[in-house]
Homo-oligomer: A and B are copies of this chain.
Amino acid sequence: MEHDDARTRILDAAEELFYAQGVQSVGMDAVRSASGVTLRRLYQYFPSKDDLVEAYLLRRDGRWRAALATYVAGAAVAPKDQLLAVFDWLARWFAEPGFRGCAFVNSFGELGATSPAVAAAARHHKEEFAAYLACLAEAAGAPPATGVHLTLLAEGAITAAAIHADPTPATDAQQAARLLLDATAALPAALLRGE
């Protein structure tokens, strides 16, 4: 399968470059030389840069969410602990060398106004992430709003960690998540619906 091999090498190079430097700062020629593929082949697999960007985002979305789910599933069995494990995973991610925030938020800021495909990819990624947390929250017996709250905390932690180049927002968010989980567990559900 050298067909898929070249495609993978292209996407690997594109992902590394696009994520590290931003999409618009990376030319197709940089992707070509980083992937060791000829320019003709590059355009054979991805007829335009937009196609490459979209494929980059799509693949990263799947990989990112799979890595999170795998970690969480292996870290805890109680749903509440799984919710907290999400923030452990974030902490590890933030500490990785080259961490530069959420690729989808970055791409959205760069191209969201111009490219509907990028905007849709970002929206889809965030929707899936929110749905995952909502699912964990439901399994934990927490009210649906709690899933939303934890999603916002995680989102904020990602942005804060990126801009400050510091992984501590993950533990801050986890602390807040713990408080929210305890608070909503102790509170009557009606209080969350009304106001």
Query: Which residues of A are interface residues toward B (Cβ below 8 A)?
Result: 20-22, 24-25, 100-101, 104-114, 119, 122-123, 126-127, 145, 148-149, 151-160, 162-164, 169, 172-173, 175-176, 179-180, 182-184, 187, 192, 195
Task: Find the residue from A100, A113, A126, A179 having the highest chain B CB count within 10 A.
Answer: A179
- Asked if A169 meets B152 with Cβ closer than 8 Å, knowing A113-B22, A179-B183, the reply is yes
CA distance A21 to B114 in the complex (A): 7
CB closest residue in chain B, given A109: B106
- CB-CB < 8 A to A158: which residues of B? 159
Question: Known: A160-B151, A179-B183, A182-B183. Contact between A22 and B114, CB under 8 A?
Answer: yes
Contact A163 B114 (CB under 8 A): no
Known: A100-B112, A109-B105. A152 touches B162 (CB 8 A): no
Contact of A20 among B113, B122, B169 (CB under 8 A): B113
What is the CB-to-nearest-CB distance from A99 to chain B, in angstroms, rounded to a whole number?
Answer: 12
Question: Main SS of chain A's interface residues?
Answer: helix
B22:A162 contact, CB within 8 angstroms: no
- Asked if A149 meets B175 with Cβ closer than 8 Å, knowing A21-B114, A100-B113, A106-B110, the reply is yes
Per the bound structure, the CA–CA distance linking A100 and B119 in Å amounts to 11
- List the B residue with the shortest CB-CB distance to A110: B110
Chain B nearest CB: distance from A189 CB in Å? 13
Cβ of A184 to closest chain B Cβ, rounded Å: 7
User: Nearest B residue to A175 by beta-carbon distance?
Assistant: B145
Q: A157 touches which one: B107, B108, B152, B164 (CB < 8 A)?
A: B152
Taking the closest CB of chain B, its distance from the CB of A103, in whole angstroms, is 9
